[in-house]
Structure 1
Amino acid sequence: MRIGELAARTGVSTRLLRYYEQQGLIASEREANGYRDYPESAIERVSQVRGLIEAGIPTGVIYDMLPCLANTSSPTAPVIMQDVADTLAERRAQLDQRIGCLTRNRDAITAYLARATVTN
């Protein structure tokens, strides 16, 4: 698929997609006319990259994580620097806090809807 279609299907601008490609986070083939051609799997990869960026993970760390993103059942453990491990552990703790807050908010909305009387 071309970059415009990938942008439309992922909600990510073409400018960001070109940046992700420049950073090695996604890949495309070049057609004879120079247009980028992305595989269907790029949709999931862009989604993963966006989620990690939104969680505060730098693109350089995401690049290092790509083998794990592509194959979570790999028998070989990646080797990472301590500062990268510390950054990821901190981000994970922040995500746990956000998930807890979101869960509480969802439960409050659910309880409110269960008690509320809906009228037209």
Structure 2
Amino acid sequence: MRISEASRVSGVSARSLRYYEDEGLIVPGRFSNGYRDYCRSTIDRVLVIRSLLESGLPVRLIKEVLPHLTDGPDDVGTDVVCAEFLHEVRSYRDRLAARIADLSAQRAALDAYLREVRPTDA
């Protein structure tokens, strides 16, 4: 699919798709006329990137961790990584866990409210 359709399907702007490509996060194919060609797996990768960015992980860390998140559990290597990188990824994971806990608590509060409230006839 071309960039306009990829943008629509993924919910990511064409500008962001070009940025992800410039940063080496995605590598879309090319048509003979030079237009980008986005396949389903590239769109799936874009959705992972978007989620990581929205969660606060910087692009420089996404570049390092993305292959391990999208290649599957059997492909994770035994790469030697620096302690600072591992600290940043753990910190990100901990922030994500805290957000999940907060959202779960908010959902539980809304569920409790919905169980107790009685609708009014409009």
Give TM-score scaled by structure 2 length.
Answer: 0.90
Residue in structure 1 matched with residue 15 of structure 2 by the alignment: 15
C-alpha displacement of 1:91: 1.1
- Residues 75 and 16 of structure 1: CA distance in aligned 2, closer, same or farther (over 3 Å): closer
- Identity fraction in percent: 40
Question: Unaligned 5+ residue runs, structure 2?
Answer: none
Counterpart residue identity of residue 31, structure 1: F
Cα pair 2:68 2:76 within 8 Å, conserved: no
Give the Cα separation in 2 of the matches to 1:92 and 1:11.
Answer: 24
Measured in 1, the distance between the counterparts of 2:102 and 2:76 equals: 34
Query: Within 2, Cα distance between the matches of 1:110 and 1:63?
Result: 38
User: Moved runs in structure 1, 4+ residues, more than 4 A?
Assistant: none
Asked whether the 8 Å contact 2:26–2:46 carries over to 1, the reply is yes
- Cα distance between partner residues in 1 of 2:52 and 2:73: 16
Whole-Å separation in 2 of the counterparts to 1:10 and 1:99: 23
CA 1:14–1:79 in 2, change beyond 3 Å: closer, same or farther? same
Count matched residues: 120
2:113 counterpart residue number = 112
Distance 1:6 1:75, change over 3 A: closer
Structure 1: any 5+ residue segments left out of the alignment? Answer: none
Secondary structure of the residue that 1:27 maps to in structure 2?
coil
* TM-score of the superposed pair, with normalisation by structure 1: 0.92
